[in-house]
Amino acid sequence: MGVADLGLPVDVPSTALFTDHYELTMLQAALKAGTAERRSVFEVFTRRLPEGRRYGVVAGTGRVLDTVENFRFDAGVLGFLRERGVVDEETLQWLAAYRFGGDVWGYPEGEVYFPGSPVMRVEGSFAECVLLETVILSILNHDSAVAAAASRMASAAGDRPLIEMGARRTHELAAVAAARAAYIGGFATTSDLASGFRYGIPTVGTSAHAFTLLHDGERDAFRAQVDSLGRGTTLLVDTYDVTEAVRLAVEVAGPELGAVRIDSGDLLLIAHRVRQQLDRLGATDTKIIVTSDLDEYAIASLRAAPVDAYGVGTQLVTGSGHPTASMVYKLVARAESADPKAPLVPVAKRSSGGKTSMGGRKWAARRLDEHGVAEAEVIGSGPVPQELVDRQLPVQLIKGGQVVAREPLDVVRDRHAAARAGLPLSATQLSRGEPVIPTEYV
């Protein structure tokens, strides 16, 4: 049984309308001008990292591959465009046969990036590439923002596991993507079942305050939960009085109680008191889980507390203050004619206000110091220096319209952990600062 069989709102028959109106009007005008078939190169990059961030995290690549495969203008979609008069009949006929047949290169998902990094490169005719702009940016900007926040939180948490629990704080479909991005960034589990179903992410959860309030007292609530879920369950202990709740929790479940969860108050102080109480009651193996509007700074402040795991919601799924990675999708080269053999000409926008870009198809490599630690992101459009040939970052993701680099999510997660470990130690500092390594253009 698949997602579609269950009727879950996490799959769509076509992704073609996840785009902006002007992508189609540009297509129509280019078709009339005879320029639509010119070979073109688009690149995805960001001009700067969010303020205070030391590195970015590439996330959403796997979802981009799925989206490109499903970018089809079926009868219903074409009917909508015809009814609204978005484009003319000639353009509709072109769209009816649309299949992306170009090439896509990009940083492997989970890799880190810096200002100017060509995170993704899309090559093909102008017509087939321009249509993908909005949806590619939608995915990469959202997922990379969440993954970057998750990565910072994972660094702050050290070896303590993190639980993603932000589904109720964002759009239901964004919640699925956010849980995937959080897993890439270092979270261990999610509370969102749709994410578990779609991506195989481990899911966890026990009870909320409503379950305690349903019963005549905490003892009854704890007894009902333990009878159903076993002594290894996690009991929520801050509905009324934490000290009394901990006492009742151990009395009901015994020293085999799996964990207690604290969701309010001064978490640092309460965690110490609860740990002392649990130990006095003989529940020395019972873990303490804390939630309550955590972000990377709150997690770091609890490093000295006897906390065993963190549950994070709002701050995670909103990028911890930076809900977008501010990536752009720019035409950097195009042919002078529709002749497949016509050479590519570098092109770039010239403007004030920091929105300039560099033309030409680019390569990117990461230079390492004598200790194997990253020291610079090197980007160029000419020959690759011999010493950097084996350090190039982009890999081919789609070749001739066919996906060639789909991979398991655990591979992506491990890649990010390795990439972050290969950065200078200051990358994990939460204090504000510039990107941890510079971007050099050659």
**Is position 19 within any domain?**
yes
**Is position 235 within any domain?**
yes
Tens digit of each residue's pLDDT (9 = 90 or more) over 170-182: 999 999 999 999 9
The pLDDT confidence band at residue 284, using thresholds 50, 70 and 90, is very high
**Is position 149 within any domain?**
no
Rounded Cα gap, residues 384 and 89, in angstroms: 45
**Is position 228 within any domain?**
yes
Tens digit of each residue's pLDDT (9 = 90 or more) over 316-336: 999 999 999 999 999 999 999
Q: Stretch 199-203: mean pLDDT, rounded?
A: 97
Residue 124 sits in the same domain as residue 226: no
Tens digit of each residue's pLDDT (9 = 90 or more) over 24-68: 999 999 999 999 999 999 999 999 999 989 999 999 999 999 999
pTM value? 0.94
The pLDDT confidence band at residue 7, using thresholds 50, 70 and 90, is very low
Percent of the chain with pLDDT over 90: 93
Residue 347 sits in the same domain as residue 398: yes
* DSSP-assigned states of every residue in 147-193: HHHHHHHHHHHTTS-EEE--GGGS-HHHHHHHHHHHHHHT--EES-H
- The CATH code of the domain that includes 349 is 3.20.140.10
Q: Stretch 413-442: mean pLDDT, rounded?
A: 95
Provide the residue type at 38 as one letter.
R
Domain extent, residue 185, equals 158-317
Rounded Cα gap, residues 154 and 186, in angstroms: 5
Residue 338 sits in the same domain as residue 290: no
**Is position 144 within any domain?**
no
**Is position 152 within any domain?**
no
Q: 60: alpha, beta or left, given left = phi > 0 and alpha = psi -120 to 50? A: left
Tens digit of each residue's pLDDT (9 = 90 or more) over 109-143: 999 999 999 999 999 999 999 999 999 999 999 99
Q: Which residue in this structure is represented by tokens 């102080």? A: 269
The total number of residues shown for the chain amounts to: 442
Q: In the listed set 317, 352, 371, which residue is the last one of a domain according to the structure?
A: 317
Residue 207 sits in the same domain as residue 308: yes
pLDDT at 413: 98
Residue 169 sits in the same domain as residue 203: yes
Residue 345 sits in the same domain as residue 254: no
CB 63 within 8 A of CB 180: yes
Q: Name the token pair of 369.
A: 């110091």
Q: Name the token pair of 395.
A: 């890999």
- The CATH code of the domain that includes 208 is 3.20.20.70
Tens digit of each residue's pLDDT (9 = 90 or more) over 224-236: 999 999 999 999 9
Name the H helices within 254-364. Answer: 267-280, 296-301, 314-317
Residue 222 sits in the same domain as residue 361: no
Residue 312 sits in the same domain as residue 347: no
Q: In the listed set 317, 341, 373, which residue is the last one of a domain according to the structure?
A: 317
Residue 364 sits in the same domain as residue 252: no
User: Residue 114, SS3?
Assistant: coil
Residue 168 sits in the same domain as residue 290: yes
Among residues 39, 59, 99, the alpha carbon closest in space to that of 332 is found at 39
**Is position 96 within any domain?**
yes
**Is position 146 within any domain?**
no
CB 373 within 8 A of CB 423: yes
User: Residue 302, SS3?
Assistant: coil
Q: Name the token pair of 330.
A: 């720019």
Please give the tally of structural domains in the chain: 2
Q: In the listed set 296, 317, 338, which residue is the last one of a domain according to the structure?
A: 317
Residue 178 sits in the same domain as residue 112: no
Whether residue 307 is predicted with pLDDT greater than 50 in this model: the reply is yes
Whether residue 354 is predicted with pLDDT greater than 90 in this model: the reply is no
Q: Stretch 349-370: mean pLDDT, rounded?
A: 85
Residue 121 sits in the same domain as residue 205: no
The pLDDT confidence band at residue 353, using thresholds 50, 70 and 90, is low
